[in-house]
């Protein structure tokens, strides 16, 4: 379960998050949609402890992950997996070491790590013969799959996806969407995805939220996406330039 | 009025930058008290130390040779066998070995560190490390700093020997000195303090090179252009700091 309450974040004088509130139930797959620059990535980075919010509260499984000074404090060691937009695979390490990176830093033997990495590789539909290749030797779709394998390797309670289908062709994007859906269900994890890709949102989401100007302005079941008369949702899903959402030059 | 505003904001910007650098150094020292990634450290020893040896050796060899010629033709040629050998030995061990070695390594290593870490920053690999419960200061920065602090004195030790041999070769082959007498004079004039002072300087230069490379890499913004700017800043700032700290250390080590 993810609970974000009254989250605020400013960069210089620019308020990016303005009293952001969102509740994602355990096992739910939530998708946050919204225009570029509305604060989606900042919200995700606050969840990961990569950005310190100015005020507010973040709870995961009913435990606050921010201490009194709003610094990240994951004392309960809640496992969070993250799929970055560009994959963020370590280019100095082969595929299997990327996947099992977290175990390699522990006391698990390299042999065992490799076996586990190969098993995870299989779960995302890749063959073991690519395990010794480096990320630069893989296609974009394969890199995304390896990144997904790394995100689910430690069987996390929470999985975050940042624009999982960006830069992929529609067929590969659909494969990734279905893989995400399948793996989130298999693990019983709570998932939070941010995306612009409505096809992706419709496939992955059980609930959809719209972030506009630093706050959630709409949230409902994915089926309501087609029924709602919310002008922001209508403009965004139809991809129209005219409407309440003004075009941003950034 | 505009001049005052611009000057004020430049000064404030500089103070902020110094503050950020100071915090970065503190975090690196803190990383030293946590987990040590020995494999990364040994890889960096090879990358920073071993692979820099050819370029440092060549620099030192030609510098030693050029120094011998300059002293011979520029100074009094009377008793030149004693003067050339002693000044080459002192010049190389006290100043030219560590400073030129440091600047050459700054160009090679500081740039490489800034480019590598800068690329990791802009492609979110450093963020990915954090999400995988790994402190990037422990995993990336500290192994590089430790490797540079240890490697540089060893490199300069080699540079000292090769530089002196460069001077000897030129002295014997071009200037007509007796090789044995040249080496005896070198040995007679050179004291352990001369060599040790150069090695201390080299260690400090190693710290400067690795910290500036890591700091600028960690603060890379944007894409390829941002990484390029960080790389340039790393080389320029580490070269200037090497020369400035060399002056301070020379004052401290030799003024007494």
* Per-residue pLDDT, B155: 96
Beta partners for A83?
Answer: A161
B127 touches chain A (CB under 8 A): yes
pLDDT above 80 for B126 = yes
Residues 136-155 of A with CB under 8 A from B: 150
B80-111 confidence digits (pLDDT tens): 777 899 999 999 999 999 999 999 999 999 99
Q: Is the pLDDT of residue B34 over 80?
A: yes
- Using a CB-CB cut-off of 8 Å, the residues of chain A touching B132 are 101-102, 105, 150
User: How far apart, in whole angstroms, are the C-alpha atoms of residue A112 and residue A101?
Assistant: 12
Q: What distance in Å separates the CA atoms of residue B105 and residue B235, rounded to the nearest whole number?
A: 10
Question: What does the pLDDT look like over A184-196, one tens digit per residue?
Answer: 888 889 999 999 8
Domain residue ranges of chain B, discontinuous segments joined by +: 53-254
- Which of the two residues, B27 and A227, has the higher pLDDT score? B27
Query: Is A234 part of the contact surface with chain B (CB cutoff 8 Å)?
Result: no
Q: Over 70: is that where the pLDDT of A26 sits?
A: yes
Instruction: Give the contacts of A236 (CB within 8 A, at least 6 positions apart).
Output: A33, A34, A35, A198, A210, A245
The SS3 assignment for A160 reads: strand
Residues of B in contact with A82 (CB under 8 A): 128, 131
CB contact under 8 A, B131 and A45: no
How many CB pairs lie under 8 A apart between chains A and B?
40
Dump pLDDT digits (tens) for B39-52: 999 999 999 999 99
Residues in B closer than 8 angstroms to A83, CB to CB, are none
Of B127, B132, B133, the CB nearest to A50: B127
Give which of B27, B131, B139 to mutate to test A binding, by max A Cβ within 10 Å: B131
d(CA A181, CA A150): 16
Q: Cα dist. B204→A27, A234, B36, B98, B243 in Å? A: 54, 62, 21, 10, 11
ipTM at complex level: 0.88
- Residue A249 confidence class, pLDDT cut points 50, 70, 90: very low
Q: Which of A108, A162, A152 is nearest to A126 (CA)?
A: A152
Residue A94 pLDDT level (bands cut at 50, 70, 90): very high
Residue A247's pLDDT band (boundaries 50, 70, 90)? Answer: low
Minimal Cα distance from A89: which residue of B?
B125
> Which pLDDT value is given to residue A110?
92
Domains by residue range for chain A, with CATH: 1-79+155-250 (3.40.50.300), 88-154 (no CATH)
Q: Is the pLDDT assigned to residue A250 strictly greater than 70?
A: no
Q: Which of A81, A88, A101 has the CB atom closest to B124's CB atom?
A: A88
Average of pLDDT values for B124-147? Answer: 94
pLDDT digits (tens, 9 = 90+) for A198-224: 989 999 999 999 999 899 999 999 999
Residues A124, A148 contacting (CB under 8 angstroms): yes
Q: Tell me, what DSSP letter sits at residue B28?
A: H
The pLDDT score that the predictor gives to residue A91 is 92
Cβ distance of A105 and B131 shorter than 8 Å: no
Q: Using one digit for the tens of pLDDT, what is the confidence trace for B138-181?
A: 999 999 999 999 999 999 999 999 999 999 999 999 988 999 99
CB atoms within 10 A of CB B33: 9
Range of lowest pLDDT (A92-101, A183-192, B120-129): A183-192
| Closest Cβ–Cβ partner in B123, B125, B131 for A48 | B131
A139 burial (CB, 10 Å; 0-12 / 13-18 / 19+) is exposed
A5 confidence band (pLDDT: 50, 70, 90): very high
Query: What is the enclosing helix (H) or strand (E) of B44?
Result: helix B38-44
Residue A36 belongs to what H/E stretch?
none
- Please tell me the least confidently modeled range out of A70-79, A97-106, A137-146, A147-156: A70-79
- Using a CB–CB cutoff of 8 Å, tell me whether A80 touches chain B: yes
């Amino acid at each position: 379960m993810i609970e974000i309450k009254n989250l605020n974040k400013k960069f210089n004088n620019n308020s990016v998050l303005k009293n952001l509130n969102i509740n994602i139930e355990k096992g739910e797959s939530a998708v946050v949609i919204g225009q570029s620059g509305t604060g989606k990535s900042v919200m995700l980075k606050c969840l990961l402890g990569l950005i310190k919010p100015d005020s507010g509260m973040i709870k995961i499984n009913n435990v606050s992950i921010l201490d009194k000074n709003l610094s990240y404090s994951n004392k309960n060691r809640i496992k969070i997996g993250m799929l970055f937009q560009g994959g963020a695979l370590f280019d100095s390490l082969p595929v299997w070491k990327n996947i099992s990176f977290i175990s390699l830093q522990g006391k698990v033997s390299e042999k065992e790590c490799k076996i586990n990495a190969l098993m995870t590789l299989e779960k995302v539909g890749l063959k073991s013969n690519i395990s010794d290749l480096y990320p630069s030797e893989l296609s974009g779709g394969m890199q995304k799959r390896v990144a997904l394998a790394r995100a689910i390797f430690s069987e996390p309670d929470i999985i975050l996806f940042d624009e999982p289908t960006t830069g992929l062709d529609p067929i590969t994007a659909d494969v990734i969407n279905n893989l995400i859906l399948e793996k989130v269900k298999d693990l019983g994890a709570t998932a939070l995805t941010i995306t612009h890709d409505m096809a992706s949102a419709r496939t992955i989401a059980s609930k959809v939220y719209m972030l506009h100007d630093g706050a959630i302005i709409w949230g409902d079941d994915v089926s309501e996406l087609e029924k709602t008369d919310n002008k922001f949702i209508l403009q965004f899903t139809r991809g129209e330039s005219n409407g309440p959402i003004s075009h941003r030059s950034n | 009025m505009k001049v005052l505003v611009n000057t004020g904001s430049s000064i404030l910007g500089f103070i902020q930058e110094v503050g950020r650098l100071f915090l970065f150094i503190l975090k690196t020292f803190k990383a030293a008290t946590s987990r040590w990634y020995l494999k990364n450290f040994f890889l960096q020893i090879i990358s920073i130390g071993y692979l820099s040896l050819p370029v440092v050796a060549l620099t030192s060899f030609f510098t030693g040779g050029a120094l011998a010629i300059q002293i011979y033709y520029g100074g009094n040629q009377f008793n030149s066998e004693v003067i050339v050998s002693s000044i080459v030995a002192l010049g190389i061990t006290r100043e030219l070995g560590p400073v030129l070695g440091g600047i050459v390594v700054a160009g090679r290593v500081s740039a490489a560190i800034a480019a590598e870490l800068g690329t990791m920053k802009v492609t979110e690999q450093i963020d990915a490390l954090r999400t995988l419960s790994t402190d990037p200061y422990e995993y990336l920065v500290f192994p590089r700093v430790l490797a540079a602090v240890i490697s540089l004195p060893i490199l300069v030790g080699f540079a000292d020997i090769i530089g002196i041999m460069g001077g000897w070769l030129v002295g014997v082959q071009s200037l007509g000195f007796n090789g044995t007498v040249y080496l005896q004079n070198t040995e007679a004039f050179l004291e352990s303090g001369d060599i040790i002072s150069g090695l201390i300087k080299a260690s400090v230069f190693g710290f400067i090179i690795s910290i500036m490379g890591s700091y600028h890499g960690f603060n890379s913004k944007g894409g390829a252009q941002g990484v390029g700017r960080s790389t340039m800043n790393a080389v320029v700032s580490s070269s200037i700091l090497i020369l400035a700290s060399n002056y301070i250390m020379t004052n401290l080590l030799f003024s007494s």
